[in-house]
Amino acid sequence: MLRIGGRKWNPMKLFSLLVPLTLYVVSVGSGRAQQPPADSGQLNAVLAKMDATAASFRTARADFEWDRYEKVIDEVDDVQKGTVYYRRTGKNDIEMKADIKMAGSDSAALKPEPKFVLVSEGKVRMYQPKADEVTVYDMGKKRSEFESFVVLGFGGSGQDLVKQFDVTYLGQEMVDGIAAAKLQLIPKSQSVRNNFTKILLWIDLDRGISVQQQLFDLQGDYRLAKYLSIKLNEKIGNEVFQLKTTGKTRTVMAGG
């Protein structure tokens, strides 16, 4: 378990809170849901579009809003807003940087409590300027699982998606004026299913990237992620993928 800010976190759950997939209807604790009949033709077309986008993917930038809903209180208890960046650094490697600029509860005005999350070289680094502290988590043997979430809908191919998930096509929906294919993802990995029952993913039919994601956990809570002003393959400077720490920044290695 990780301990951040005095609270223990399951590493995979922490990652979903910081980097929604969120992301990715089932009953709590039911494991694999019974999936509706798949439209194989439509699904294959969406996966092929994702493959084509992944083949030419270099960078992505998007503004985001991440909303976390807790079933026990039946309301959104946390909203985070900011900008997320991706870039391909090798044949199969993609870095991700999230600049979380605003955070707060849905019932109160968002407060400027910035934090920065960098996923690179097999590590997740979270910098909290207020505490002037960087928490580092080494993905280790779980790297492939973590990174499958990092590229979910941003640089990941359709073929990679079906390797990690049982994918079902749920039809088309409009998301903020964009025609999107709605996909249901059931994790194939038991360790992932121990944390998340399913993921819903909305893929822009024109560009083959994610515009909305929703991830459900075992308690029935979920995080909804919306992506706006998405820019693909524009130049992003190296400085974006660095944490701007101070000479007094403390680094903490989170235990597994």
Indicate the DSSP class of residue 72: T
Report residue 76's pLDDT band, with 50, 70 and 90 as the boundaries: low
Which pTM value belongs to this model? 0.78
Domain presence at residue 83: yes
For residue 19, give its domain range. Answer: 2-24+39-253
More confident residue, 36 or 57: 57
Domain presence at residue 244: yes
Domain presence at residue 206: yes
Q: What is the CATH number of the domain that holds 161?
A: 2.50.20.10
Residue 141: count of CB within 10 angstroms of its CB: 8
Q: Which structure tokens are listed for 192?
A: 């992932």
* pLDDT at residue 144 in the model: 66
pLDDT in tens, 95-144: 889 998 877 665 555 666 788 999 888 888 999 999 999 999 887 777 76
Give the count of domains, the chain.
1
Q: In this structure, are residues 212 and 225 in contact, taking their beta carbons and an 8 Å threshold?
A: yes
Domain presence at residue 31: no
Q: In this structure, are residues 227 and 236 in contact, taking their beta carbons and an 8 Å threshold?
A: no
